[in-house]
Amino acid sequence: MSDPIRFRGPAASDAADVWRLARDSGALDLNSPYAYLLWCTDFATTTVLAEDATDRRVGFVGGYRPPTDPEAAFVWQVAVAADQRGRGLGRRLLDAFLSRPGTRDGRWLTATVTPSNAASLALFRGYADARGVGCDEHERFPAEVFPAEAGVHEPELALRIGPLPPR
């Protein structure tokens, strides 16, 4: 039996569904719809969509190669639809992300995560464990650097997974 989940790069027409996945995650910072349009167009080579057998978007990961750390592939956001959680889709999305043209030669997988986002922390730590590589963690952005007018924001922990084997 073939896998009903397919992975592909996004297009502008996918941005609304990506925005909804982020909104419905319950844990991600929701950005403007315009930001998701940029992720699905300008960052299409480093963004991955997961679709089920009915072509419904059930997950995404968006990221980029940081100019200050060219050996890293930075995950900006990863979301999985509620009915797909607990099935390993998050890890498969990270694998697909690291196979994209803009990220496949990255030696490190990096991300920032708030301390209360237990699901994302478990995903990244589990990803490192499954690959037998380290996961360094430290505070990258303290809470006070976020604008007070935007409401309370937790600090962001930086995660650095690797080094990853060549693909």
Q: Is residue 15 part of a domain?
A: yes
Q: Is residue 1 part of a domain?
A: no
Dump pLDDT digits (tens) for 37-95: 999 999 999 999 999 999 999 999 999 999 999 999 999 999 999 999 999 999 999 99
Q: Is residue 120 part of a domain?
A: yes
**What is the pTM (predicted TM-score) of this model?**
0.94
The tally of domains found in the chain comes to 1
Q: Is residue 139 part of a domain?
A: yes
Q: Residue 31: which domain range?
A: 6-162
Long-range contacts of 119-122 (CB under 8 A, 24+ apart): 119/27, 119/85, 120/27, 120/78, 121/157, 121/159
> What CATH number has the domain bearing residue 99?
3.40.630.30
Query: Can you tell me the mean pLDDT for 130-149?
Result: 96
